[in-house]
Amino acid sequence: MTTRFAVGDITIQRIIEQEQPLFDPLTFLPGLTQERLEENRGWLEQARALDKATGQLVLCVQSYVVRTPHHTILVDSCVGNHKDRPGRPFWHQKSDDTYMRNLAAAGLSVEDIDYVLCTHLHVDHVGWNTRLENGRWVPTFSKAKYVMADRELAYWTQKEKDDPSGVPWITDSVLPIVDAKRAQLVKSDFVLNESIQLIPTPGHTIDHYSVLVGRHGRDALITGDMIHSPIQGRYPELGMRADYDSRQAGQTRRKVFDRFCDTSTVMCVVHFPSPSTGHVRRWGDGYKFVP
C-alpha cells in the first residue's frame, strides 16, 4: 500500500516493507505502566497502534520517497533482505519482495534514487542500503549518495570495531556504503537544497536527524525515530528501550511537537500505523497525532 501527497511542488510517498504487531508495549516502552496502558488502550486500539488480538504495538516499517523538481530522495531504507538478524525472527534472513514491489508500484527503480537520507543508523532504517550480489554487500541504490550524520557514523563505526556481533547491520548495511565511497557525511542540521533541510533530533540515537521538506506553510517533517508510538505524543517523556538517551529524546519530542503543533506541517512518522501521516495537536500536557 502506498499513499502520496504533495506539499507545494514536492510529492511525498510511503514505501512500506512491513506493518504488523511487533512488540510488547511494556518492554518496548520501559517507562509505561500497566495502569497507564489500560487508561489509553481504547484510543490506541482505535488508531490501530495497539493490536486487539495480541496486545502488541503495531509498527509500520517504511521509507518515505520525496520527489522535488530536481531530485528523488529516499528517507530511510527499512530492514532489507538476506540479512542475519537472529534476535529478530521477523527480520532474520528476509527474502520477500514487498519492498521492491512497492518501490516499483511507486514508479521507481533503484537507479532513480539520487539521495538516501539515513535519519539514524538502526537496523530497521539502513537495511536496503545494501543488497547481496555474488556474496558481497553492494549499494542497492547504485547512483545515490547516502547522507549520514558524522557523529552518528563515528559512534556506530566504533561500536562495530569493539563488537561486530552486536551490530551486524553496521557491518552489512552501513560500512559497505562507506567503503564504496557513497557516504556523504554531514552535520545533523545540513541543508541539502532550498526544500530539504535536516533538523537535529537527538536522543533516540546520538546524532539522529529528522527531515524538513518544502517551504514554510507548505511543508512536512519526516520524523525518523524521534517517536515510535502515538502514546509518546501524549506522554513525551516516555522513552523507548533502544534510546541512546531517553531524557534527551523526551526533550526533543517536546521541542519538535511544540514547534509544529497546531500548524499546517504534515508529520510523516516512520513507525506509526497507516496512514502514518497527519498533524500534531495539543492534548493536555502532551500532544495528539491526528491522521
Q: What is the closest distance, in whole angstroms, from the C-beta atom of residue 6 to Zn ion in the complex?
A: 26
Q: What is the closest distance, in whole angstroms, from the C-beta atom of residue 60 to Zn ion in the complex?
A: 10
Give the per-residue SS3 of the chain.
Answer: CCCEEEECCEEEEEEEEEEEEEECHHHHCCCCCHHHHHHHHHHHHHCCCECCCCCCEEEEEEEEEEECCCCEEEECCCCCCCCCCCCCCCCCCCCCCHHHHHHHHCCCCHHHCCEEECCCCCHHHHHHHEEEECCEEEECCCCCEEEEEHHHHHHHHHHHHHCHHHCHHHHHHCHHHHHCCCEEEECCCCEEECCEEEEECCCCCCCCEEEEEEECCEEEEECCCCCCCCHHHHCCCCCCCCCCCHHHHHHHHHHHHHHHCCCCCEEECCCCCCCCEEEEEEECCEEEEEC
* Residue 33 to residues 67, 235, 272, Cα–Cα distance (Å): 41, 12, 21
Q: What is the closest distance, in whole angstroms, from the C-beta atom of residue 124 to Zn ion in the complex?
A: 4
Q: Which is nearer to Zn ion, 175 or 240 (CB)?
A: 240
What's the first-to-final CA gap in the chain, in angstroms?
Answer: 16
Q: Which is nearer to Zn ion, 207 or 225 (CB)?
A: 225
Q: Which is nearer to Zn ion, 10 or 147 (CB)?
A: 147
For binding to Zn ion (CB under 5 A), which residues are involved? 124, 225
Q: Which is nearer to Zn ion, 126 or 220 (CB)?
A: 126
Q: What is the closest distance, in whole angstroms, from the C-beta atom of residue 179 to Zn ion in the complex?
A: 24
Strand partners, 91: none
**Residue 216 CB: number of other CB atoms within 10 A?**
9
Q: What is the closest distance, in whole angstroms, from the C-beta atom of residue 125 to Zn ion in the complex?
A: 6
Q: What is the closest distance, in whole angstroms, from the C-beta atom of residue 22 to Zn ion in the complex?
A: 10
Q: Which is nearer to Zn ion, 67 or 122 (CB)?
A: 122
Q: Which is nearer to Zn ion, 91 or 137 (CB)?
A: 91
Q: Which is nearer to Zn ion, 7 or 60 (CB)?
A: 60
Q: What is the closest distance, in whole angstroms, from the C-beta atom of residue 33 to Zn ion in the complex?
A: 23
